[in-house]
A and B are shown apart, each in its own frame.
Chain A
Amino acid sequence: MSSGGNNNTKAAARVDAARRVAIFGGTHGNEMSGVTLVNLWVQNGAEIQRKGVEIKPFIANPKAVEKCVRYVDTDLNRAFTQENLSATGDDELPYEVQRAQEINRMFGPKGSAGAYDVIFDLHNTTSNMGCTLILESSKDAFNLQMMNYIKKAFAPASCLVLLNEHPLLKYSTSRSVAKHPVGLEVGPQPQGVLRSNIFEAMRVILKHALDFIELFNEGMEFPACTVEVFWVLERMDYPRDANGNIIAMVHPNLQDCDWEPLNPGDPMFQTFDGKSIHYQGSSTVYPTFINEAAYYEKQQAFVTTRRETLVASAVRKA
């Protein structure tokens, strides 16, 4: 990916065609849009067929799906570390570590030439994030071009891009097994609940994503473009007492305000006896994942981001 200059004079970056694509639902067993869509497509995959590419719908965590819980032993979407993937112990390993190794065998190995080209991982959040695409690298031109295509196709409806590239906060997702990992996160939706509007939005976004892949594989060149991303900065936990119990809630002024500017001095938390706690940062940030149910145990009330415009070089099938 180029960082400046006149991209129109440079040749397009050549990227291998995406011949093997997977769609994961149920990485978290209680995020119902992905579970429902993948189950549908496993039964009848006509809607997700595209020329020149094999597309596999897949339930990532079937035990968690059956119990309608996020995970059984440990969060599958944090389990794809090198340590876990090479761990020995078979049946003694936590279920999700065993599952991660199996997924790595089926769709990886992670980091190798034989790994799947693209994995779409379907998620829901209790946060008011709307339609969000999650990237892990600022340098993947193929993925950036896909984001650009999806955003334009989905307009005027909004689809934002969250970039989770951060040395400390980045985590080892199930989709990270593929060469081009793409997260789809749609909310707000309670865990265990299927909302029709959320389900349909995810379905449409995926349709555009697969259309992009088909066009790319047919040889279309995608000219250089810019993509606005929200780049992860910092995790903000709830205020807690000495025993680790939360002592405040996300403030009503911040609740549901994902992607809106949070300025120094703005209310951030409200204690149970009604006092406000204010944001102490030195500059404006853009919070997201505000009040996600699953993050209370991960010590996160919300995450801050900065807005940045990335430049994606032109791409074309190799």
Chain B
Amino acid sequence: MERAAVPPLSSVAICGGTHGNELTGVYIVKEMQKQKTDKVGSVSITTVVTNPRALDAGTRYTEMDLNRCFTDVLLSSPVTESSPYELRRAQELNAQLGPKGSAEAVDLLIDLHNTTANMGLCLIFYSIDWITLHIYKHIQNKMSSVPVRAIQLDIPISDAYSLESVGKHGFAIEVGPQPNGVLRADIFNMVKEAVDLTLAWLQEFNSGRSYEGGTVEAYTFVRSVDYPRDSAGKITAAIHQDLQDNDFKLLRSGDPIFQTFSGETLKYDGEDLYPFFVNECAYYEKKIAFHLAQRKTFSFPSIRVKKD
């Protein structure tokens, strides 16, 4: 592949607390604010606690999930004082860090999340973007004792619903397992390292260093599977012990996926796919027991900053 030339990335936003009970991002951002980190070499940094009301309440959200509010339609819908808090907040954040799709948007937006699922460290993004793939590869190489993976949501940017779609480039860093409302030091240290590595990479990139292309594996979302429920909508089974904590382990037809409360094993029937977000707390209400993905190889070119 030919080498790509990409304009410098001089503005970065680091966001935490988009879900008010996912604490790692909150404390990463607060520590950066305490240290007054607003610049790292050529890169200017904005840090934001994005859902302060949910953080105060210790909940994921107060009226609606902030991280589903960033579609083009929702960002441009008329809001009043009585509109849901998170909808108004999304439009505020879009004004501050975007507007989404415009030349004024931050060059890179990183949104920090936690999951109760055993997913290790994941970068989640929409489009296949050379910058994101290079950063992913860099983090994966440098953090060799941690499982680092990438998940791609194949959705057009106009329909992209999460905060990171506001930046010109963007990805979420999703790390687990960590319970809601808990701050684990090992997870904090892991995310801090990933953020530091990203900022260091950007500096080097901006100063003219060339990065060799290559290939990476990433998981592309295919579909989700709900819990078995009774006629009243109540869950009748738990994730099977063989599947619990086995995110990204290939699932084949015949593999156990649920254990009913009366002791029956329910098995997977379908094509070979990779499960993730297995037993994520927040997804019970979204009717998701786990997601399924394909694993693909993406190639990306060498890149170097474009000099004017």
Taking a contact as CB atoms under 8 Å apart, the answer to whether B185 and A249 are in contact is: yes
Taking a contact as CB atoms under 8 Å apart, the answer to whether A190 and B31 are in contact is: no
11 pairs, A vs B, C-beta closer than 8 Å: A189-B179, A190-B281, A192-B281, A193-B179, A199-B238, A246-B183, A255-B186, A272-B27, A272-B188, A274-B189, A291-B184
Beyond A190-B179, A291-B182, A291-B184, 10 additional contacts (C-beta under 8 Å) are A188-B179, A189-B179, A190-B116, A190-B177, A192-B116, A193-B279, A196-B259, A249-B27, A249-B188, A250-B185
Interface size, B (range): 20 to 34
Taking a contact as CB atoms under 8 Å apart, the answer to whether B281 and A193 are in contact is: yes
**Segment 183-207 of B: residues with Cβ below 8 Å from A:** 183-186, 188-189
What chain A residues lie within 8 Å of B166 (beta carbons)?
A: none
Which of A194, A252, A274, A294 is in CB contact (< 8 Å) with B238? A194
Bound Cα distance from A189 to B186, whole angstroms:
18
Taking a contact as CB atoms under 8 Å apart, the answer to whether A197 and B184 are in contact is: no
Which of A40, A249, A255, A293 is in CB contact (< 8 Å) with B181? A293
Bound Cα distance from A188 to B234, whole angstroms:
24
Taking a contact as CB atoms under 8 Å apart, the answer to whether A190 and B188 are in contact is: no
What chain B residues lie within 8 Å of A272 (beta carbons)?
A: 27, 30-31, 34, 188
With both chains docked as a complex, state the minimum distance between the C-beta of A201 and any C-beta of chain B, in angstroms: 11
- Tell me, yes or no, whether B210 is within 8 Å of chain A by CB: no
Taking a contact as CB atoms under 8 Å apart, the answer to whether B244 and A252 are in contact is: no
Tell me the dominant secondary structure on chain B's binding face.
Answer: loop
Taking a contact as CB atoms under 8 Å apart, the answer to whether A196 and B241 are in contact is: yes
Q: Which of B31, B188, B281 is the most central at the interface, judged by chain A CB atoms within 10 Å of its CB?
A: B281
- Interface contacts (Cβ under 8 Å), in number, total 80
Bound Cα distance from A189 to B240, whole angstroms:
15
Tell me the dominant secondary structure on chain A's binding face.
Answer: loop
Q: Which of B27, B238, B240, B279 is the most central at the interface, judged by chain A CB atoms within 10 Å of its CB?
A: B238
**Segment 239-267 of B: residues with Cβ below 8 Å from A:** 239-241, 244, 259, 261
> Considering the complex of A and B, which 7 residue pairs feature the smallest CB-CB distances, nearest first?
A190-B179, A293-B181, A196-B238, A249-B185, A272-B31, A192-B281, A126-B179
Taking a contact as CB atoms under 8 Å apart, the answer to whether A196 and B182 are in contact is: no
With both chains docked as a complex, state the minimum distance between the C-beta of B149 and any C-beta of chain A, in angstroms: 21
Interface string of A20-37 (1 = CB under 8 A from B): 000000000000000010
Taking a contact as CB atoms under 8 Å apart, the answer to whether B116 and A197 are in contact is: no
Are A249 and B183 also in contact (CB < 8 A) when A36-B261, A272-B27 are?
yes
